[in-house]
Amino acid sequence: MEVKESIIRTEYSEIMQKSFIDYAMSVIISRALPDVRDGLKPVQRRTLYDMYELGIRYDRPYRKCARIVGDTMGKYHPHGDSSIYEALVVMAQEFKKGLPLLDGHGNFGSIEGDGAAAMRYTEARLQKITQEAYLADLDKDVVDFVPNFDETEKEPSVLPVKVPNLLVNGSEGIAVGMATSIPPHNLGEVIEGVKAYMKNPDITTEEMLSYIKGPDFPTGGIVVNKDELVSIYETGVGKIKVRGKVEVEKVKGGKERLVITEIPYPMIGANIGKFLNDIGALVETKKTNDIVDISNQSSKEGIRIVLELRKGCDVENLCNMLYKKTRLEDTFGVNMLAVADGRPETMGIVSVIRHHVNFQYELATRKYKNLLQKELDKKEIQEGLIKACDVIDLIIEILRGSKNIKDAKACLTTGQTENIRFKSRISQKQASLLRFTERQATAILEMRLYKLIGLEIEALMKEHEATLKNIAEYQEILENRGAMARVIIRELDRFKKEYAKPRKTQIENVEETVYEEKKPEATEVVVLMDRFGYAKTVDMATYERNREAADTEYKYQIRCMSDDKLCIFTDTGQQHLVKVQDLPFGKFRDKGVPLDNVSNYNSSAETMIAIRNLGSLPGTRLLFATGSGMLKQVEGGEFDVSKRTTAATKLAEGDVLLCVEPAEGVETIVLQTEKGMFLRFALSDVPEKKKGAIGVRGIRLADKDRVEAVYLLGEHEERTITYKEKEIALHRLRIGNRDTKGVKK
């Protein structure tokens, strides 16, 4: 059978747009963002559910993580083992989660950024609270189950989490075009906040923060911008400033040492090492002389970073410097973005709790409807069995007189006696009046004889009473929202009593750190730069000792102060600034660094025309000359700017800058072109203009001719150059007028 080819013609951009939107939504909803109801991303939800299905409970032995990861990947999450294992590891790390959901056994990494061991070495199991508050009611039809990726298994669309996990554990994730960053909070405080909302749904953010004080990071620390929290939690967006906790200890000899016992949450991982390196850099660059030694004495017991101080140092000023110059004070960017009602939404804290409470009512409604139905079914059977006990002799007679179960069941449910042999007409008449339900008849037929013992009948009556009591209780919960709220609050109080821990993070208002950096005393130095653009600085004594070699080997030798800036002029008309202190200071034979590394100057795209000490420019005049012969004088103060790169002059299209030279002491200018034209005229013929001007024409050029060189002559200065193997005395050229053709040489 021949298959006909079908070509669908469509706009390529439309396909790309639709495909990208589909991909973006998949990443947002099904990968990177947590659900506001259970606070879990899909990979976390699937891992927990898989462990629940495998029976890896808190009171059972640990199982290899490789087993958990493989099962999760094969059944629910076919996106690679690394993402599943990373999610599993984070859920077991106490220094990352406010409430770890897994109990890890083995090397699960450290707060200093060490990774976990491979999954074939580590083991895990569920925490007790994970079982009780995250997975407890999955068997009661409280959440919807959906097909997995290949429709061979069912998985829950959301877990029936009974605590506000999104706030308790926080979340971080990067989707397409959006990201979420939610800090962890204290379990006890969040539960109190939920209870407050249930009692007053119109609660304000400010009132909510009287219950939930702010973030509670597992690493402790101090939040220093308490007044800004109301705005952050109202909008769901903002920056929380966190400081490490620093203690001062006295040591022998009247010395002191700083001990950092808690760190800002964003510092966990590799940033601890970076923090230590930053302190070392402050000492090496002599930004501080107060720190004598640094040691990281952290262990399983907690963080302990010790800074030994010199005697008599200003501890407060040093702390302020560490807050300003290192990550001892850091920022946690809050963006409370989560999936709500199938779409990403940025929410304030009250909105998050509202979604959680609505979810709790939904879970409770489905749970108690399910329990009520089970109790009603039990009630029906119990009533049938009790009624059967009253007429047990008749039922036995029916069973003995029946040829099969079908006839017996028909008699019990509808009173059909035609196919049954009775001992008497009275029995037959009584049997015809029986009207047991289908479920009751089945239970009677399956009942064992020992159930007829007096004590068993008494137990059945008590069980029936308990069933009636449960039915009344469940109906009350379902029909009365207040009763349902009391049930939810009672369960929350139980979780708080058993699992809540004291707050670790302090919430305070601290004034902005004031640290006045002592500027190093400026000294006179010499900047040396070779023809390859490598620059360095040496002190005056070193330069004087090696003056002859420096003047021979280096293209530029610029005397300046160590706190000055250098101004680079390029052929593209740009001006780049370089701080002298950014250049390496050292020995005469040191290599130096390319100017490209310490400024915006790009040696591959532009050529340096001149380099000047910026501090020497104000009060001077600079002469600018271009390839097309445009000239102008500019007051040097115009180049004293703060920007690292600005336009030094305006150039016509295709023009290049040839010369930027001081005009002081210059009497005449000589312009030389590529075709051998020379023109000498007075500097006074060149007007002073702003740096944004193009200038005036210095020489009238022939077709396809360009200015090749510019010579500046002082009064009575004699200067001879070699041009095409001829010596030309520039000082003997006749002085002409600007904007003329000049003479041929």
Cβ contacts of residue 655 below 8 Å, gap of 6+?
626, 627, 628, 630
Residues 6 or more apart in contact with residue 3 via CB below 8 angstroms: none
3-state class of 355 per DSSP?
helix
| Sign, CA torsion 521/524/530/532 | positive
* HSE-up (13 A, CA, CB side) for residue 635: 6
What lies within 8 Å, CB to CB, of 733 at 6+ separation is 670, 678, 680, 743
Active site residue 121: yes
> Mapping DSSP to helix (H, G, I), strand (E, B) and coil, where does residue 667 land?
strand
23, 52, 121, 543: the catalytic one is 121
Q: Tokens 């966990």, residue?
A: 268
Q: Which position has the token pair 């179960």?
A: 405
Per-residue DSSP letters for 416-461? --TT---S-HHHHHHHHT----HHHHHHHHH--GGGGSHHHHHHHH
Report which DSSP code applies to 286. T
* Cα distances (angstroms) measured from residue 499 to each of 133, 187, 592: 11, 8, 60
**363 is written with which tokens?**
């879970």
Task: Give the H/E segment covering residue 681.
Answer: strand 677-682
Helix (H) or strand (E) holding 345: strand 343-346
- CA separation, residue 439 to residues 47, 328, 449, 461 (Å): 39, 70, 19, 18
524 forms bridges with which residues in the sheet? Answer: 561
Cα dist from 38 to 100, 357, 363, 433, 491, whole Å: 15, 11, 12, 54, 16
Listed residue (52, 23, 25, 27) closest to 143, CA to CA: 52
Distance between CA atoms of residues 736 and 595, nearest Å: 40
Q: What separation in angstroms does the CA of 285 have from each of 89, 158, 494, 541, 564?
A: 39, 54, 56, 22, 18
CA angle (677 as vertex; 675, 679 as ends), nearest 5: 155
**What whole-number distance in Å separates Cα of residue 266 and Cα of residue 241?**
10
Which class for 626: exposed (0-12), middle (13-18), buried (19 or more C-beta within 10 A)? Answer: buried
**Which helix (DSSP H) or strand (DSSP E) does residue 27 occupy?**
helix 12-27
Count of other CB atoms within 10 angstroms of residue 413: 17
Q: Which of 477, 476, 484 is nearest to 198 (CA)?
A: 484
Separation between Cα atoms, residue 669 and residue 679, nearest integer Å: 8
Nearest Cα residue to 101 out of 33, 60, 188, 40: 40
Distance CA 629, CA 698 (A): 5
Report the C-alpha gap between 690 and 638 in whole angstroms. Answer: 8
Q: Write out the catalytic residue numbers.
A: 121
